[in-house]
Structure 1
Amino acid sequence: MLNKALKLIRTFYDVSQSDLSARLGISNSYLSEIESGKKQPTMDILSRYSEQFDIPLSSILFFSENLEGPKPSDKFRMHVAKKIVSIFEWNQARNETAKNFGKKAKTF
């Protein structure tokens, strides 16, 4: 789920993969593999993500928790995480729709 969250953060801020990979100092193909879930990001890359988007690293790591054998509190956190991802997905779709109509959607 971390890979999906990282991609949604990037698209929420309307940053291209190639632009972000340059900002993070990694190759575009490596970023693509991270976002597709083929490779796991290092803590260093997650820290750079955190700095780039001004999001606390703990918030980014929130999406990467292993939920095997969930406890009641883990179920709640997973529910909240899914809601946050849904909001990012909604915003991504909204921005894509606006671009298709030649308009720029307002962000929060």
Structure 2
Amino acid sequence: MSDNKFIISIGKTIAHLRKVHNLSQEDLAELSDTHRTYLSEVEGGKRNPTITVLKKMVDSFDISMSSFFKMVEEKND
């Protein structure tokens, strides 16, 4: 998988999980100590989230990082 496809898949997975958990971008941004515009760019595949911000986002969904990355891989299949 290319780097760009991987970043896009991360963003799509975050957006999917955010919607499943009935969170707005504003809600998730607040939970992960970031800005809504940053989150929007991550979800759109335009920004690569830092590992610390990604960890905070994933923690908000109450799943492990390994489960998150498994979902990312599955979205690309």
Q: Displacement, 1:57? A: 0.5
Distance, in Å, in 1 between the alignment partners of 2:24 and 2:60 is 13
- Opposite residue 21 of structure 1, the aligned amino acid is A
Distance, in Å, in 2 between the alignment partners of 1:42 and 1:60 is 15
Q: Would you say the 8 A contact 2:31–2:57 is kept in 1?
A: no
**Structure 2 residue aligned with 1:70:** none
Q: Does 1:43 align with 2:47?
A: no
**Aligned structure 1 segments of 4 or more residues deviating by more than 3 angstroms:** none
Task: List gaps (5 residues or longer) in structure 1.
Answer: 64-77, 83-108
TM-score normalized by the length of structure 1: 0.57
Q: Displacement, 1:53? A: 1.1
Q: Give the number of the structure whose alpha-carbon radius of gyration is greater.
A: 1
Task: List gaps (5 residues or longer) in structure 2.
Answer: 1-8
Q: Does 1:20 align with 2:28?
A: yes
Higher relative contact order (CA 8 A, sep 6+): 2
Deviations 1:8-50 (A, max 9, x none): 0000111000111111110110000000000011111121122
Among candidates 48, 57, 60, match of residue 65 of structure 2: 57
- The count of corresponding residues between Structure 1 and Structure 2 is 66
Q: What is the RMSD of the two structures over their aligned residues, measured on CA atoms?
A: 1.2
Among candidates 2, 12, 34, match of residue 4 of structure 1: 12
Distance, in Å, in 1 between the alignment partners of 2:35 and 2:19 is 18
